[in-house]
Structure 1
């Protein structure tokens, strides 16, 4: 399954919810929304700084990731960015792939 690194920041309303539910409550909510789209949570860490939260997710495909992201972001409680992650094997396969490319001006 594709993996994604998600960076998230809570809005004021989202922070109020975090204060009310605590970190465990939010982790349960994340696991539930991922399960609903066929995904799982690898890890989740809260942070201090520009981002409030970092997660690594396994999702069945890009459509499931986008559906989850849209549903969560539509609440207005969170702003997030998802970064597709590539395994070492993915990079090895890409390095072996023959690409026919002519650079500009060549």
Structure 2
């Protein structure tokens, strides 16, 4: 199953609901939402800052993640941002995939060897 980071922010009605229900009941509701879409919550935290809640969870696929975001955002009391989480092995697999790309202003596609270090800038010949 794919892993996702869901960052949620409460609007004023959501904050009022949280104050009425408490944090434990919100966690239970999020667990139920993930389960109803065939997934599970791995971690759930209330946070200070731009977001109010972060959730790391598993869902069967991107369609399920989109359904989760649509349900939450349609409620009108909470907004969420969903990020796909990739394992180190998935990145290793991505590095091994070949693809052809010609950057703007270049006459020919570049090769991976033309990248200059960590910055990811195309090295000049």
Q: What are structure 1's unaligned runs of at least 5 residues? A: none
The Cα of 1:28 is off from its aligned counterpart by: 0.1
Larger Rg: 2
User: 1-side partners of 2:67 and 2:101: how far apart?
Assistant: 35
Match of residue 72 from structure 1: 72
Match of residue 23 from structure 1: 23
Match for residue 105 of structure 1 among 94, 104, 107: 107
Partner SS, residue 101 of structure 1: coil
Give the length in aligned residue pairs. Answer: 106
The alignment yields a C-alpha RMSD, in angstroms, of: 1.1
Q: How high is the TM-score relative to the length of structure 1? A: 0.94
The Cα of 1:69 is off from its aligned counterpart by: 1.2
Q: What are structure 2's unaligned runs of at least 5 residues? A: 109-125
Q: How high is the TM-score relative to the length of structure 2? A: 0.80
Partner SS, residue 28 of structure 2: helix
The Cα of 1:47 is off from its aligned counterpart by: 0.8
**Richer in helix (by share):** 1
Q: Deviations over 1:35-62 (max 9, x none)?
A: 1110110101101111111111100011
Q: Does 1:33 align with 2:33?
A: yes
Match of residue 9 from structure 2: 9
User: 2-side partners of 1:29 and 1:49: how far apart?
Assistant: 22
Q: Deviations over 1:62-90 (max 9, x none)?
A: 11111111111111110110011110110
Match of residue 84 from structure 1: 84
